[in-house]
Structure 1
Amino acid sequence: MKLFECQSCGQLLYFENTVCVRCGHSLGYLPGQAQLSALQPAADGRWQALGDLDHEYRACANAELGACNWMVPAESQDAFCRACRLNRTVPNLNDPARVAHWRTLETAKRRLIYSLMRLGLSVRSKDDDPQGGLAFDFLSAQESDQPVMTGHADGVITIDLAEADPVARERMRTDMTERYRTVLGHFRHEIGHYFWNDLVARTAWLEPCRALFGDERADYGDALKRHYEAGPPVDWAQRFISSYATAHPWEDFAESWAHYLHIVDTLETAQAFGMTLRARAGTDPVLSMEIEFDPYRTANFDTLVQAWVPLTAAVNSLNDSMGQPDLYPFVLAHGVIEKLRFIHRLVRGE
């Protein structure tokens, strides 16, 4: 994620900010320019963006609920921004607790859409493309007579509202013996399933994908049942990024996709802060790093890995110093790196 700067006073800004704390300007994100902009009022409820003086904008309709800071071109007929137009179902917003959890989901979703747009991937809504478009259902088990399962089916990503509750999420993480479980991680994983359908199925990428991840035609239900009953293979860490990735080739692909997004977005944040690393102990050159490239645009996948390994070693050690779990509790074995390399090539269309 990039850092931003107020066009009025130069204050450092972050992606979710809505007001500049120094000069008081309202802020809005301009997805077409990938920038957070200071705003000044114009006529008829419109805003002039200091980051784009040639156009006027309106706030997304979800701004009224404190759930979005993205802007809509003033001439657009849409009430919602590009990210919120992807919503098909939202929870009952008469309950303040559910509104708070929904806002958490929206924050993670906008970070996901930011990454997809930075990678140049198509983000089409079901309204624009009923067959191949994307939609989100944010569901609460308390509002349904059916169990709510986070997952993907036919371009619709369902997220259980309980994932936004830190207590419930930690309980699920513990029950499922996961080392890592975040709201943003769910979004990045499930969008991997969507892009498998969009970029791999029925394309020239299908056979190379099968050669690396396995044959997705294996019965999915049986594979999951076997995974939950028997667990992963003993040597899973040598070939998979997580134990869940061993369940089925689709899950291996989605987990690899999620980790690719983890890597490029976190490296962009490190680059935005000008981070460099040179370990002052040992002689291993792998523990030095300087990010003088755009992680979302670099063609060389090895450049990403060479920056990622020392960065995660450093931030994991920092977390240890605070008594916190590792920020990135995963190992990039050779087989895992090759799967991530495939995702890199797929995203770039190489």
Structure 2
Amino acid sequence: MKTFNCPNCQNPIFFENTQCEKCFTHVSYNPMTESFEANEQLQPNDLCKNQSLNICNWSVAGSHQENFCLACSLNREVPNPKDLNGFDKWENLEPAKHRLIYQLLKLKLPIFSKLEKENGIAFDFLSENNKQKAVTGHANGVITILLSEADSVHREVLRKQMNEPYRTLLGHFRHEVGHYYWDLLFDENNIDKCRAIFGDERINYGEALQNHYKNGAPTKWNENYISEYASSHPWEDWAESWAHYLHLMDTLETANAFGVSFKLKKYPLKNLTKAICPNPYETTSFKTIFDSSVALTCMANSLNRAMGLSDIYPFVIPKAVYKKLNFIHNVLSNYSSIS
């Protein structure tokens, strides 16, 4: 993610800030200009209604609703503020969802509410105790995230139970929205190219998942997939690969914004990237993006290990997955050029 500045004193501001830490100016993020604006310069109805609940810091710029910002306008079902336990978890979910919307805008993808258009998108943040027995997932444009995922301890328990190297709220959002955009990006005119990369999605989805949970991933799955779960069905392979593409793009934009460079003389990574991390949204070559990302994640992993922490990116990208990521990059590049 790019860096931001206070509109009053130019002090650095982070994406989740509601106030400048130096001059104490109250600020709101404008998703259309990718900048923060001073609240005192805005009208009260320019601020997202959810700012009053301290779960949003955006203005309503670019939204089709008068009271909610673009990100919050996509919510369909959220906890009642009187439900303190559920509300606390919702507070953790919204920053991740806002980061997702920021990136979808950067990729120039269509974003509109299912409450306004049938093929739009909606978010339901639900308790596991609800009558519908909800699970985290996607169906017909509705992305459901269980509130329990916002509990870091619970999420870590699930990560270990499912033998996952990585499980985060932002990762959930990126994965599930990948399912949504599959339906928007592909039709009978271009689906064959996608099937050639990810496989035929017409195989029975329910049976494929049942087989995966019963028998596990195929032998040497890591030579063809980014994760074990990706091997379960072409839709999941796409969603997992899509999420990793978004991981790659966001971390690289962040490194570019901070001027991270790799002036290496002897270390092998010197052959992977140029002096400075490129802005991935202004780079057409996926190889340049990917090579720079490899160098960046190697550095980040090493920094984490220096603090005794787990790798920030515990994945190795085989050639088959590189091909899938490159395909996604080309699909999005072609889409943004004609949209």
* 2:27 counterpart letter in structure 1: L
Partner residue in 1 for 2:131 = 145
Unaligned residue ranges in structure 2 (runs of 5+) = none
Could you say if the C-alpha distance between residues 180 and 283 of structure 1 is closer, same or farther in structure 2, counting changes exceeding 3 Å? Answer: closer
Q: In angstroms, what is the RMSD of aligned CA positions? A: 1.8
Partner residue in 2 for 1:343 = 328
Partner residue in 2 for 1:60 = 48
**Cα deviations by residue, 1:96-137 (Å, 9 ceiling, x for unpaired):** 22212101111110000000001100001113312x100011
CA contact 2:138–2:180 (8 Å) conserved in 1: yes
Partner residue in 2 for 1:245 = 230
Partner residue in 2 for 1:160 = 146
- Is 1:196 the counterpart of 2:182? The answer is yes
1:296 is paired with a residue of what secondary structure? Answer: helix
Could you say if the C-alpha distance between residues 100 and 117 of structure 1 is closer, same or farther in structure 2, counting changes exceeding 3 Å? Answer: same
* 1:81 counterpart letter in structure 2: C
Unaligned residue ranges in structure 1 (runs of 5+) = 48-56
Give me the whole-angstrom Cα distance separating, in 1, the residues matched to 2:145 and 2:268. 45
Higher strand share: 1
- Is 1:112 the counterpart of 2:97? The answer is no
Give me the whole-angstrom Cα distance separating, in 1, the residues matched to 2:17 and 2:9. 15
- Is 1:89 the counterpart of 2:77? The answer is yes
* 1:3 counterpart letter in structure 2: T
CA contact 2:143–2:177 (8 Å) conserved in 1: yes
CA contact 2:74–2:113 (8 Å) conserved in 1: yes
2:243 is paired with a residue of what secondary structure? Answer: helix
Aligned pairs for 1:260-339 within 5 A: 260-279=245-264, 281-286=266-271, 288-291=273-276, 293-339=278-324
2:50 is paired with a residue of what secondary structure? Answer: helix
2:281 is paired with a residue of what secondary structure? Answer: coil
Partner residue in 2 for 1:225 = 210
Give me the whole-angstrom Cα distance separating, in 2, the residues matched to 1:298 and 1:75. 28
User: How far 1:75 moved relative to its partner?
Assistant: 11
User: How far 1:208 moved relative to its partner?
Assistant: 0.7
Give me the whole-angstrom Cα distance separating, in 1, the residues matched to 2:298 and 2:62. 46
Q: Sequence identity of aligned pairs in percent?
A: 48
Partner residue in 1 for 2:11 = 11
**Cα deviations by residue, 1:125-170 (Å, 9 ceiling, x for unpaired):** 113312x10001110123x133220000001000001000001101
1:71 is paired with a residue of what secondary structure? Answer: coil
Could you say if the C-alpha distance between residues 284 and 303 of structure 1 is closer, same or farther in structure 2, counting changes exceeding 3 Å? Answer: closer
**Cα deviations by residue, 1:227-278 (Å, 9 ceiling, x for unpaired):** 1111112211111111110000000000010001001111000001100124
CA contact 2:49–2:68 (8 Å) conserved in 1: yes
CA contact 1:279–1:287 (8 Å) conserved in 2: no
Could you say if the C-alpha distance between residues 38 and 146 of structure 1 is closer, same or farther in structure 2, counting changes exceeding 3 Å? Answer: same
Among 59, 66, 85, the alignment partner of 1:71 is: 59
Give me the whole-angstrom Cα distance separating, in 2, the residues matched to 1:214 and 1:74. 37
Could you say if the C-alpha distance between residues 210 and 22 of structure 1 is closer, same or farther in structure 2, counting changes exceeding 3 Å? Answer: same
Partner residue in 2 for 1:169 = 155
Report the TM-score when normalising by structure 1.
0.91
User: How far 1:284 moved relative to its partner?
Assistant: 5.0
Which shifted more, 90-99 or 205-214? 90-99
CA contact 1:289–1:311 (8 Å) conserved in 2: no
2:39 is paired with a residue of what secondary structure? Answer: strand
